[in-house]
Amino acid sequence: MKLCRFGEKGKERPGIWMDDGRILDVRALAFHIEDFNDHFFENNGVGQLQLLLEDPGAKYVEAAGVRLGPPVARPSKIICVGANYADHAKEFGHEIPTEPILFSKATSALNGPFDPIQLPEGAKVVDGEAELAVVIGRTASWVRKADALDYVAGYTVLNDVTERIVQKANGQWFRGKGFDSFCPLGPFLVTPDEVPDLGNLHVWQKHNGVQLQDGNSTDMMFDVPFLIEYISQGMALNPGDIIATGTPSGIGSARNPQVLLKSGDVVEVGVDGVGAQRSDIV
């Protein structure tokens, strides 16, 4: 299944993307499913959705012209993995890490997958990073790698937009990566049965139609099961939490000359089999 949230910003409704130009309106039939939030994931919400697909009373919305929001509502954490692709680490001048580098993005930075990205006043060096993101389906604490995928609700696409000067200014990354709209997410939360091979996913980015990133998840140094095990050692992952698994090489700020996001540009990021985004820069 492809889960989505649709409607006006801040008033999104939970839905199922049907691949035929329609969205199944979940709340129209299942009033108890308020949103795709922690309560939903913690209470086998995905399993309940399967019943809705078989219900003859299901109501549908035509998808054309309908805004999509982030497919997950109010995650408690967005945990990102830095330098998880060796070539990306090298292009940024990082040493190859021996264990994952973790940082976070502000949950207030979440943005719809086709919403504009708003450059903050004074921004000079801004670019994006295409990433496969993992959504946690149930509380994960001290999880073993062998069991890690049992805790996954699904997968989505995240663009880790960053103001590089702010990121590097004072030794911490949070502010430069946490500006409002700097975390486009979606368009879908794709359930694991539709993503059978995590080790072979094409991860890409385009800037004004020109390919920048052209990578594959096979090049991750730390795979999804290992990341869940590593992060959950003493830090509980809550239902709905998001793990962004890192980005391949080719980002705009590491190029010579740099390819930066400016007002009027269009950035597209995607993971084949999971989804693709398109954002205007304003």
Number of residues written out for the chain: 282
- 32 and 97 inside one domain: no
- Please report the beta strands in 198-261, taking only residues with DSSP state E, as ranges in sequence order: 202-207, 210-216, 242-244
| Last residue in a domain, options 16, 47, 69 | 69
- Which two tokens mark 44? 């086998």
The pLDDT tens digits of the residues spanning 230-275 come to 999 999 999 999 999 999 999 999 999 999 999 999 999 999 999 9
Residue 259 makes CB contacts below 8 A (sequence gap 6+) with 127, 207, 210, 212, 252, 253
Q: How many domains does the chain fold into? A: 2
- 117 and 87 inside one domain: yes
Query: How many other C-beta atoms lie within 10 A of the C-beta of residue 48?
Result: 14
Q: Identify whether the C-beta of residue 183 lies closer than 8 Å to the C-beta of residue 243.
A: no
Indicate if the pLDDT at residue 94 is higher than 80: no
The pLDDT tens digits of the residues spanning 155-199 come to 999 999 999 999 999 788 999 999 999 999 999 999 999 998 999
- 33 and 119 inside one domain: no
Average pLDDT of 219-224?
96
The pLDDT tens digits of the residues spanning 5-38 come to 999 999 999 999 999 999 999 999 999 999 999 9
Residue ranges of the alpha helices (H) in 71-163?
A: 86-91
Residue 106 makes CB contacts below 8 A (sequence gap 6+) with 78, 174, 177, 178, 183
3 state SS of 156: strand
The pLDDT tens digits of the residues spanning 45-60 come to 998 998 899 899 999 9
CATH at residue 192: 3.90.850.10
Domain that holds residue 39: 2-69
- 23 and 99 inside one domain: no
